[in-house]
Amino acid sequence: MKRQMLTLLILCLTCITLFSQGTDASFTWTAPKSSPQKSGYKLIAFLDSRQDTSCVGNYSLETEAKPTKLILKTPIGPQLEAILNSYTDASSGFGALLFQLKRFSFAETQRTAYVYLIATLYALKDNGYVSLLNLDTTLVIDGPANFQNALVSASNEVVDNFIARGIALTPVDTVVYSYEDVRHIDNLHKRRLKAYNTSTYTEGFYSDYAAFKNQTPDLQGEVKLRSDGGMAITLHSPGWTEARGKKHIYAVVYKGIPYIVSHFGYYPLQKDGDDFYFDGRLNVAGTPSNPFGVFSANANSPDKRNYRVLIDYRNGDFIHIKAPESAAQ
């Protein structure tokens, strides 16, 4: 699902537990005060597929302060049950859901944090599971003030709305997955992508992620090496200009090495396990759009730093894994 964007100006937040610095701080997703709505489901199960289930991330409200480890309190299943129950009543159907949490994380310890919340809702069908609805959201929260409150409030709202949308849907997908399939669903999807199943990449220029994942270069151009060892790309395809502040291609494969492209340069992709990563500088800011997208406390302040970045195999988006302390500002 293509990541959509939304700007949320956080003016004030209701009082939530105040977390002390340098300690573990747990929080829960709470049920909204909602009126029951049409629902085909009364049961919900939970599957935690996050790579790191120990915490959401670490954050410092003050420079050089020991980070607070933020944890989504377990068990998570009852939290989802309470949310579902707030939307259902005696007229609701008796269907069952499976909520798979794939990612809920951020890497920043100070300043702007990019919090990634990715999940899938499945409906139980024919003793298996059918995909019902996907959630792929980035919450951009400017710190340090009220960071924890903003994280809890925004993520809770997204999960509430996600479940509310899902319970009104009936499964239409014809593919029924076993529980084991669901547990390894990302690996199953990656097996369909050529870029994830080759060690030899097709030379050329890729306008977007779709071209790269299918290994079908769709632009013409040439690469020249600068005196400092960097690359300079000249594209011959109409409408494309590689220049700061203008649109740029997604990737290039040069002498067998794939490079990701940002406004700041060309960064070699590294394959680690079953995922692509790169280390490079980005320019990221929230922009207005639709629900299930970026929530930003200050979308007018783009962030320009070096990051360890994971490529989201679903849509090619950049997931910030780590912002080095020595990153250039």
Asked, for residue 144, whether it belongs to a domain, the answer is yes
Long-range contact set of residues 126-130: C-beta below 8 Å, sequence gap at least 24: 126/176, 128/176, 128/177, 128/178, 128/179, 128/181, 129/98, 129/176, 129/177, 129/178, 129/179, 129/181, 129/182, 130/171, 130/173, 130/175, 130/176, 130/177
pTM as predicted: 0.82
Asked, for residue 253, whether it belongs to a domain, the answer is no
| Residue 300: per-residue pLDDT | 44
Asked, for residue 228, whether it belongs to a domain, the answer is no
Asked, for residue 308, whether it belongs to a domain, the answer is yes
150-189, pLDDT tens digit by residue? 899 999 999 999 999 999 999 999 999 999 999 999 999 9
Asked, for residue 207, whether it belongs to a domain, the answer is no
* Domain count across the chain: 1
| Residue 114: per-residue pLDDT | 84
Q: Is the pLDDT of residue 7 over 70?
A: no
Share of residues in the chain with pLDDT > 90 (%)? 56
- Strand segments, DSSP code E, in the chain are 24-27, 41-48, 57-59, 68-72, 95-105, 113-125, 128-141, 204-206, 221-225, 231-235, 251-254, 257-262, 265-268, 270-272, 275-284, 295-296, 303-311, 318-322
Q: Which residue has the higher pLDDT, 290 or 40?
A: 40
256-309, pLDDT tens digit by residue? 999 999 878 899 999 999 999 999 987 654 433 333 334 433 334 455 668 889
**Full domain range(s) for residue 98:** 1-196+275-329
For residue 314, name the pLDDT band (cuts at 50, 70, 90).
Answer: very high
Residues 322, 37: contact at Cβ < 8 Å?
A: no
Asked, for residue 304, whether it belongs to a domain, the answer is yes
Which residue do the tokens 């903003």 mark? 150
Residues 109, 58: contact at Cβ < 8 Å?
A: yes
Asked, for residue 217, whether it belongs to a domain, the answer is no
Asked, for residue 24, whether it belongs to a domain, the answer is yes
| Mean pLDDT along residues 43-58 | 94
